[in-house]
Amino acid sequence: MTSAVGILPELRIAMANFGSGGIDEGSTDRRDMAMRWDKTISVLREWQPHIVLCQEISAAAPGALRVHLWTTANTLGMIPLLGPPSPGTVTGNHPAVLVDASAGLVILDAGPAWQPGAGAQPAWCEALVQVPGWAHLLRAYSVDLPWRSSVEQRSQADQLATRIAELAGLGELAVAGGNWNSYGRADPVIPAALDFAPPHLRPPRMRYSPQDRTLTPNYDVHDVLACVGMEDAVAVLASARSDPGDLAAAGTSVNGRVDRIYLTRDLAGAAAGYMQQDMRASEHQALMLTLDGATAARATPPGPEQ
């Protein structure tokens, strides 16, 4: 499905957690709320991404969710796709994907498909896009896993990884980014430092050994993604192409990155740069991954099992 308009030189994929929509739950001053949202938008405007993986899209006023979503998208000149409410959310947070159609990206599908009563709703939003010049379609996933339960995280990760693997067999590439609320194996997690983590973060992110009463990182979510060929994008980049280059923590974590971007292994070689910036508008930092267009255009999924 090679595009006739030529290969897009690079694909910039940003990730932004809006922190309950940029709304300060402890403030009733609309100016304070707008300032937090403006800081996030300012970073994204500077980066000019082609795809934005959003978490915690929300709104203070009932019925204003879609207004907030479209205001965010229109301000950036992008098309918004809204996912289901995040499992367990009490503030109406949703994941979303924004796509820059002016760069030639074509949205072919959105999801996930989910019906009330069909069990826990997926903790992600997805968009299937044709990138100019790429031989295969790219499905982008914005993920926000439950923060209270490692069991629910693992269940969601199982479902997501299975979906990615099944669609790879049909010829799709994938990028999945968001708040995983757990650690990746590239994180420089110092076990002793886990003792200083807030107790409410320990059950979903750590394991406890009763023999010596020590805490160790829980890598279940990362390992589930890795078993279907997903690569932590930062881990495959040389530090010279990352800013910062030391895999600094992103998000409310202890010595680790709860916010990460994963690529199908076929796309890992196209990773050309990574940026991370404190927006001072959320407890999470903004991330951006840049893929080399020529390399990505040649990327080929593994195809169906023979």
Contact between 78 and 98 under an 8 Å Cβ cutoff? The reply is: yes
DSSP summary character for residue 131:
P
Per-domain boundaries in the chain: 10-294
261-274 pLDDT, tens digit each: 999 999 999 999 99
CA distance 294 to 292: 6
Close Cβ partners of 4 (under 8 Å, ≥ 6 residues apart)? none
pLDDT confidence band for 245 (50 / 70 / 90): low
276-286 pLDDT, tens digit each: 887 665 568 89
For residue 305, the model assigns a pLDDT of: 52
For 213, counting Cβ atoms within 10 Å of its Cβ (0-12 exposed, 13-18 middle, 19+ buried), the class is exposed
Query: Which residue did the predictor score with more confidence, 257 or 108?
Result: 108
128-160 pLDDT, tens digit each: 999 999 999 999 999 999 988 999 999 999 999
For residue 23, the model assigns a pLDDT of: 45
Q: Using the predicted structure, report yes or no on whether residue 161 has a pLDDT greater than 90.
A: yes
Q: Using the predicted structure, report yes or no on whether residue 227 has a pLDDT greater than 60.
A: yes
Nearest to 130 by CA among 261, 295, 2: 2
Least confident of 21-30, 34-43, 56-65, 150-159: 21-30
Q: Between β-strands 94-99 and 79-82, what pairing exists: parallel, antiparallel or unpaired?
A: antiparallel
The CATH fold assigned to 10-294 is Deoxyribonuclease I; Chain A (3.60.10)
149-162 burial, b at 16+ Cβ within 10 Å, e below that, comes to bbebbbbbbebbbe
- Using DSSP's 3-state secondary structure scheme, residue 17 falls into strand
For residue 103, the model assigns a pLDDT of: 95
Query: Which residue did the predictor score with more confidence, 178 or 244?
Result: 178
How many residues does the structure list for the chain?
306
